[in-house]
Amino acid sequence: MSEIKVVTNILQTNDAITAKNKDLLNDKGIYVVNLMSSPGSGKTSLLELIIAKLKNDINIAVIEGDIYTTKDAQRIEAQGVPVVQINTGGACHLDGEMIKGALSSLNLDKIDLLVIENVGNLVCPAEFEIGEDIKICVLSTTEGNDKPLKYPLMFEKSGAVILNKLDLIDYTNFDKEEFYRDIKSLNANVDTFETSCVKDQGIDEICLWLVSKIENKKIKAK
Amino acid sequence: MSEIKVVTNILQTNDAITAKNKDLLNDKGIYVVNLMSSPGSGKTSLLELIIAKLKNDINIAVIEGDIYTTKDAQRIEAQGVPVVQINTGGACHLDGEMIKGALSSLNLDKIDLLVIENVGNLVCPAEFEIGEDIKICVLSTTEGNDKPLKYPLMFEKSGAVILNKLDLIDYTNFDKEEFYRDIKSLNANVDTFETSCVKDQGIDEICLWLVSKIENKKIKAK
């Protein structure tokens, strides 16, 4: 029982810090995405394309969460937008305290969209609120269509699910019908997108959808 | 600091239970594999092929770790070997207590090779010893060659790394040279294999290697 109590305390502490981060982000009218997936599903590749398409019209900043290395932050920096790297040093997810530190390094007056790329992990990141307006979960076709029921929390909590690597689906046994049936059984109102970064497929739809979310948030903040 | 102390306690408790499990498994001369990877790298598919090739000569049993569902255990059961499903109900890794429960459901006198398929997660499972003789980490080509440096603990602790989905490598930008350089920098003595489950490629090599490990363990147990 003591272990359970500790976990509850950790979550409560996180929620308190996150609430403060969220107040700050709401005051500034910044729309915040918590981008999550397994390692290698294509989060950073999707983000590179989204930034390239939106950066002339929207002020974007990125917080990159990785256990080690600055590989992803370097890729985002090359897109010419502000980026802060968090190295968790072993921890399997981002939390409110880490985000608080990263926010202090960003000029929040010049951000419309903040994307937080979480640690590659289909389990733990879903348990920790980090001040996001929406959780977006990416799954790639090569990972198999059985993942929503095997990792339900991630899919239950996400406001949108992106099925990526559509260019590879013909080389897999991925069953789209079953995939969408499982997702909808967990989360009836989730928005879904299909993308291929290699073929630049489906990214425009995500950008349009994101822009409407960002504009809604700005209107509410005024 | 209190959080760190708690984590230390959890690991110590796990080590104590695992030590007892390990004594039992050593007494029976059972060679134990802790099979780990991201979700969807192909652990279960590899295991299906390995079982099909070895089950007439070697007594194999499997412990399947999943957060929810018995999908993987059903696939293994279809191969006609004993299998126990552990549903962690949210936890991101297997631990000694869960394995203790699973072992009580198996006839340990009739097992030469016990494969424990861990929860799909490239982070947390590497932190918990569960009584294995060897950790094997699977990475698929579609996940990208940057993963060893981003998730180093898993690759440092593994005795073997399997690069799976070799049939798809030509559709990716996976850099094998960099991949092996990074792995060797983390873990100079690791054994490596390349496989494709679709093409039944590289599985025979793994089987031969496993048989020699199993035989060594039997000799030591006598």
For residue range A129-174, what is the model confidence (pLDDT) as tens digits?
Answer: 999 999 999 999 999 999 999 999 999 999 999 999 999 999 999 9
Nearest chain A residue to B121, by CA: A121
Q: By percentage, how much of chain B surpasses pLDDT 70? A: 96
pLDDT at residue B9 above 80? no
What is the layout of strands, in order, in the sheet containing B31-37? B83-87, B60-66, B113-117, B31-37, B134-140, B160-164, B191-194
Rounded CA separation B195/B202 (Å): 5
Q: By percentage, how much of chain B surpasses pLDDT 90? A: 91
pLDDT at A6: 62
pLDDT at residue B136 above 80? yes
**pTM of model > 0.90:** yes
pLDDT at residue B58 above 60? yes
Q: What is the mean pLDDT of residues A6-24?
A: 87
- Banded model confidence at residue B6, pLDDT cuts 50, 70, 90: low
Of B71, B90, B152, the CB nearest to A150: B71
Yes or no, beta carbons of B142 and A40 under 8 Å apart: yes
Chain B CB contacts of A142 below 8 Å: 40, 140, 142, 165, 168
Q: What DSSP character marks residue A109?
A: G
pLDDT at residue A1 above 80? no
Q: What is the mean pLDDT of residues B30-54?
A: 98
- Banded model confidence at residue B5, pLDDT cuts 50, 70, 90: low
pLDDT at residue B4 above 80? no
pLDDT at residue A3 above 60? no
Q: Yes or no: say if B122 and B103 are a contact pair by the CB < 8 Å rule.
A: no
Q: In this predicted model, what pLDDT tens digit does every residue of A162-221 receive, in sequence order?
A: 999 999 999 999 999 999 999 999 999 999 999 999 999 999 999 999 999 999 998 887
Nearest chain B residue to A199, by CA: B171
Of A143, A165, A168, the CB nearest to B39: A143
Q: What is the mean pLDDT of residues A49-78?
A: 96
Of B40, B124, B168, the CB nearest to A38: B40
Q: Beta B83-87 vs B134-140: how paired, if at all?
A: unpaired
ipTM (interface predicted TM): 0.91
Rounded CA separation B136/B43 (Å): 10
Residue B122's contacts (CB-CB under 8 Å, 6 or more residues apart) are A38, A39, A120, A121, B36, B37, B38, B147, B151, B154
3-state DSSP call for residue B96?
helix
Yes or no, beta carbons of B152 and A6 under 8 Å apart: no
Q: What is the mean pLDDT of residues A85-108?
A: 95
pLDDT at A4: 54
Q: What is the mean pLDDT of residues A111-130?
A: 96
